Structure 1
Amino acid sequence: MVLLTVLIHGTGMYGLARLLRIEAREEAEEHIHPMSLRGVSVTLILVLGLFALHGIEIWLYAFVYLLLGALPTLPDAVYFSAITYATTGYNDDALNESWRMVAAIEGVNGIILLGWSTAFFVSVVHRMGGSK
């Protein structure tokens, strides 16, 4: 799962970076300010894209919990996966004891991927603001 989520995340971020490069070229050619409606819209698309990547990864872990029989229902698995991935803290009493290490790995995996997204987003915003 760690390798799969890193592959998904890296591919998704590559796609977002490529979209941003194309947009930056067009903004430069058309002299569009980064804080224009178009620039703000691109930032929102970036945020939603990152959110979607994390959502996909959370749902994948949720399906793993279901397939392992670690959690009884899809809503329980998605909720547990989301709070574990984001390392917000939880009560893991609902999780089958045999699978608690999977939750620990998901927490580490999630915090790394969230950090990667944060670094990417900060670098994009820094470039948009321009260190001119």
Structure 2
Amino acid sequence: MSDEVIVVDLGLQLAAVAGFVLLMVLIHSSGLVGISRALHLHDERSIPNEFGLRAAALMGTYGLLLFVLHFIEILIFAVFFRYVGALRSMEEALYYSASCYATLGTAASNFAEEWRLVGALESLIGFVLIGWSTAFMVRTLRKIID
């Protein structure tokens, strides 16, 4: 393999990662705004002022919606991996993507080398998005507890 091919492959992977960063920030911020609106978190009167059944239902719904948001983001990566032929099946792509996103680090033995940097950097993207969701949820919990 020539140096020119390696540079092109690296540039293509970095461009894909940059696109994923932008896409995931847009999806995640829109998702958090949507969750906030759906649960009326902007209205202080709709947030319980003590931790009881109503607060537990709110937080349970919140957690479920966050799970769906993260699954959508994982699915987008998996579709990409499948589309570029980095993995053979959608199940394998979902497993690999979820593993990367959640920073578990399970490597797929037959993952295409030319896309492995995207897989590795999915971990960084997932780490940031999970942290963002955690901060958002803690903020809501603080409103209930305070």
What's the RMSD between the two structures over aligned residues? 1.5
After the TM superposition, which of the residue ranges 36-45 and 52-61 deviates more from structure 2?
Answer: 36-45
Give yes or no for contact 2:49–2:144 (8 Å, CA) kept in 1. Answer: no
Of structures 1 and 2, the one with the larger relative CO (CA 8 A, separation 6+) is 2
Code of the aligned partner of 2:46: E
Distance, in Å, in 1 between the alignment partners of 2:107 and 2:99 is 10
Kindly indicate whether the alpha-carbon contact (under 8 Å) linking 2:99 and 2:106 is maintained by their aligned counterparts in 1.
Answer: yes
Contact 1:63 1:74 (8 Å CA) reproduced: yes
What percent identity do the matched residue pairs reach?
39
Report the 3-state secondary structure (helix = DSSP H, G, I; strand = E; otherwise coil) of the residue aligned with 1:20: coil
Q: How many residues align?
A: 125
The CA distance in 2 between the partners of 1:122 and 1:40, in whole Å, is 14
In structure 1, distance between residues paired with 2:122 and 2:46: 39
Gap regions ≥5 residues in structure 2: 1-19
2-side partners of 1:119 and 1:33: how far apart? Answer: 19
Residues 1:75 and 2:91 are matched in the alignment:
yes
Say which of 66, 69, 77 aligns to 1:61.
77
Cα distance in 2 for partners of 1:56, 1:25 equals 30
Q: TM-score, normalised by structure 2?
A: 0.79
Aligned partner letter, 1:45: T
Structure 1 unmatched ranges of 5 or more: none
**TM-score normalised by length of structure 1:** 0.87
Q: State how 1:26-45 maps to structure 2 within 5 Å.
A: 26=46, 33-45=49-61
Greater CA drift, 1-10 or 76-85: 1-10
Which letter maps to 1:36? Answer: G
